[in-house]
Amino acid sequence: MVAIGVLALQGSFREHAALLRRLPGVSVVEVRTPEELMSVQGLVIPGGESTTMALVAERWGLIPLLRDFLSSGKPIWGTCAGMIFLAERAEGTKSGGQALLGGLDIAVSRNFFGAQINSFETQLGAPECLRKFGGEDVFRAVFIRAPAVLQTGSGVEELAHYTLTEQEKDPAERLLHFVCVPLLCLCLTSTGGCGRLWVCVSFHQEPTSDLQWHQLFADMVFAHAGQTAVEQQAIQSSQDALTGRTPARPADLPVYGKQHLALAQ
């Protein structure tokens, strides 16, 4: 088993945890304390409200410990607010700015698309690293008050991007310097002194039933721990055969209510 933590200070940590628990060989820890952070081999920083997340982390004394975790080389996945939290630079922050963990050489713009009413869902071209799980050539991406990546440094690889519509490019709707910059929605970097492994996305994937992104991140954690998802799947299948269990949870519900758990049992 590998232990994957989900930073559980604010935001959609429960949805991430529910999807991760569906993967073989993965145990999930909701991280709120230093001890819980030290117990995991990879960390998901979920979507939510990045300023609130930073304030709670500061109040609970987690900022320096999170920075130590990032510098350790363990895999990190930041979604939406989590991506902002990991960025080196952020535009559009509230008065006085906000604490950033840093480490990922990108510049982001908070709430790039506007208010909650401007949230949307679309399909994006799947990168090769995602297609290895047997999925389609596109994947669902849910943008909720989403940030955008405006600039990337060396060592940051673009895996997928969203093309702005003409209305979104309209200078009346958008500051001029945004118009000429490609909008990146996902970045991956494996550079740094510790051989860091990062995945950062500006969209929410956890409201969907698609496990591919969580499989991709778990694969990174397994590899860092010297294992592979394929090996873990074989172990789980062997255990199921020995116990006579057949996984029966519905595949299209990230979060289960009591009635669905009863059906699964």
Enumerate the active-site residues. Answer: 80, 204, 206
Three-class HEC string of the chain: CEEEEEECCCCCHHHHHHHHCCCCCEEEEEECCHHHHHCCCEEEECCCCHHHHHHHHHHCCCHHHHHHHHHCCCCEEEECHHHHHHEEEEECCCCCCCCCCCCEEEEEECCCCCCHHHCEEEEEECCHHHHCCCCCCEEEEEECCCCEEEEECCCEEEEEECCCCHHHHCCCCCCHHHHCCCCEEEEEECCCCCCCCEEEECCECCCCCCCHHHHHHHHHHHHHCCCCHHHHHHHHHHHHHHHCCCCCCCCCCCCCCHHHHHHHC
